[in-house]
Structure 1
Amino acid sequence: MSYEKLLAPMAAAAHEVGAYLTSAPRPAPAGSFDELRETFHAVERPAIDLVHRHVDPLVPGAPWAEELDTTAELPRTGAFWVVDVIDGAVQYLQGLPHFCVSLALVRDGEPVAAALHAPLLGETYLAAAGCGATRNGVAVTASAKTSLAAAVVGTSQPPLAAEQPEAVAEAGRSLGAVLPAVLAVRNLGPTSWQIADTGAGRLDAFWEYGRDDTNLLPGALVAREAGALVTDAEGGRWRMGAKGFVAAPGGLHGALLGVLAGRA
């Protein structure tokens, strides 16, 4: 099956999970981290089962990233699925609307098919390697802006950021550098959706520090296929395991890299 032909069943999985999430009663706010985790898992488990039924037959034998030993890095060869049934789980559990369902197939270290669905927006991003990117079936392209001073830029941090102190330090330093250089900086919730919105020109650019591969991979494909440059913080092609991530159109990318590096 071609990567493009994977998109319809992937979208079906994302839509079914989205319908489940929006029809289920929102959990009551948790009082502790342990309660929060248990509440999340109670919602997550049925959603994962729904996705398994849709995607497992598509690439027989392809594991899910969570089934792999990812203590070091995700594998650079072979195929595996990256699935986040609630990207933006913190917002979902807090009763906020900023969450989505995120799926990607990764082959030999590169995302090759991606589906992202925000059920409360009624929107779905799809992308396959070499086939472009769409939102609700309409092709999307990155921003045409060329001035950072007019740019609305997104950012985020890896989950449980305290486990990556260098990323926390870089997040603070880079925010202080970017804020005075752009029109506005926003963190609009799920990382994958923010990157996809960068591909669609809703956000003009996006950056993040720290290792966050499973959240970055789906959006990275959408942004690349929409014409954005997707690199590490030094300007090299972004690959899994990189400590920095930047997505921006050609007219802004170099300037944003300069700000992040302290050259502007």
Structure 2
Amino acid sequence: MRQQVGAGPAFDGVNADRAADEALLGGVVAAVVAAGAHLRERFTPDARPGSLAEVVAAIHANDAASLRFLREPLERLRPGAAWAEDELESGALPSGEWWVTDAVEGNINHIHGMTEWSVTATLVRDNRPVLTAVHLPLTGDTYTAVRGGGAFLNGVRLRASAKAGLDAALVGTGQARPGESADTFRRIGLSVAAMLSSALVTRVSVPATMQLIQVAAGRMDVFWQFSDVRSGLLAGALLVAEAGGTVTDAAGAPWSLSSPDFLAAAPALHAAAVEVLAPIR
């Protein structure tokens, strides 16, 4: 099982803190479920914001509403852990423990009456994700992982896809945030065109986590993103790695929070995905 997630060494080996992290998991799940229940009450499939100002206001209102249920329980679980305030931030964090959350992952979908959204919480230790919970309020599903302990959906172990050919693969990418650079948009466009010619089906959607849980579950085969927005990648990176998938940057090097891009793939498809994506610079 190839797992290349982390800062520096490969993301493998025995985690001395695993038992302590597993003891936290129930509390983390409870927090994301509570936040999700409140967001479900705010959700309507009839939502149709009419302007950019309305979109921005609805996003901020959702974030604030969810954080009221999410932040205090998580800080109480791990009082010494710092809180990553901006969910659109990228790059490495200072050393120590951090909570990296997305109070409404896929907020843009929620406020437009679409169903692909979730609540995520990931504990990061010295820039490595060690524990995560992703809750989908509309289905009641919860994805969880503790470093070294496997990935699970509602307590059932997840396995990455066993596909061996990119010609049979369902792959995906998406935009990490509004206002990316013109160069990033160029790379996204080139990569989509390249994958359309290489994979069976290519999808482009947001948010990243909602595609990464599908890679972890073996329903999708490859996900890549030309971005380093940490809140959209950390939960899925841990889930995919713990499900037996391969997580690197787009050139195949070990992924960390300092990497400029991201690739998660079924293990037998990783090399083929790198062959498609690595030339796109």
TM-score band (shorter)?
Answer: over 0.9
Aligned partner of 2:77 among 33, 48, 58: 58
Does the CA-based 8 Å contact 1:207-1:245 persist in structure 2?
yes
Report how far residue 34 of structure 1 moved.
Answer: 2.2
Opposite residue 112 of structure 2, the aligned amino acid is: Q
Higher relative contact order (CA 8 A, sep 6+): 2
1:38-77 CA distance string (max 9 Å, x none): 122222212101012321111113222116995x733241
Rate the CA distance shift 1:17–1:227 in 2: closer, same or farther, 3 A: same
Q: Quick one: structure 1 residues 262 and 198, their matched pair in 2 at CA, closer, same or farther if it must change by over 3 Å?
A: same
2:65 to 46, 49, 74: 46
- 2:275 is paired with a residue whose SS is helix
- Name the stretch that deviates more: 99-108 or 187-196: 187-196
Is the partner of 1:30 in helix, strand or coil? coil
- Taking the aligned partners of 2:91 and 2:225, their CA distance within structure 1 comes to 18
Q: Normalised by the size of structure 1, how large is the TM-score? A: 0.93
Instruction: Determine if the alignment matches structure 1 residue 117 to structure 2 residue 135.
Output: yes
Q: CA RMSD in A?
A: 2.0
Q: The residue matched to 1:66 in structure 2 has which SS?
A: coil
Q: How many residue pairs are counted as aligned between the two chains?
A: 261
Cα shift at 1:21: 1.2
Q: 2:180 aligns with which of 163, 187, 207?
A: 163
SS at 1:216 equivalent: helix
Same amino acid, percent of matched pairs: 37
Residue in structure 1 matched with residue 126 of structure 2 by the alignment: 108
Q: Does 1:211 align with 2:224?
A: no
C-alpha separation in 1, matches of 2:248 and 2:73: 31
1:75 paired residue number: 93
Partners in 2 of 1:181 and 1:40 — Cα distance? Answer: 36
Runs of 4+ displaced beyond 2 Å: 24-32, 67-70, 162-166, 187-190
**Which residues in structure 2 correspond to 1:194-233 (within 5 Å)?**
194-233=211-250
Q: Distance in 2 between matches of 1:240 and 1:67?
A: 15
Bigger shift: residues 96-105 or 72-81: 72-81
In the TM superposition, residue 222 of structure 1 has moved relative to its aligned partner by 0.5
- Alpha-carbon distance change, 69 to 155 in structure 1, aligned in 2, over 3 angstroms: closer
SS for the counterpart of 2:85 is helix
Judged with a 3 Å threshold, the aligned counterparts in structure 2 of structure 1 residues 256 and 73 are, in CA distance, closer, same or farther, namely closer
**Of the candidates 185, 190, 197, which is equivalent to residue 173 of structure 1?**
190
When the two structures are superposed, what TM-score results if normalisation uses the length of structure 2?
0.87
Which of 267, 274, 278 is residue 250 of structure 1 equivalent to?
267
Q: 1:182 to 1:25 in 2, by over 3 A?
A: closer
Give the direction of change, closer, same or farther, for the CA distance of 1:10–1:240 in structure 2 (3 Å limit): same
Partner secondary structure for residue 76 of structure 2: coil
Deviates more, 1:189-198 or 1:133-142: 189-198
Query: Unaligned regions of 5+ residues in structure 1, if any?
Result: none
Aligned AA (1:35): E
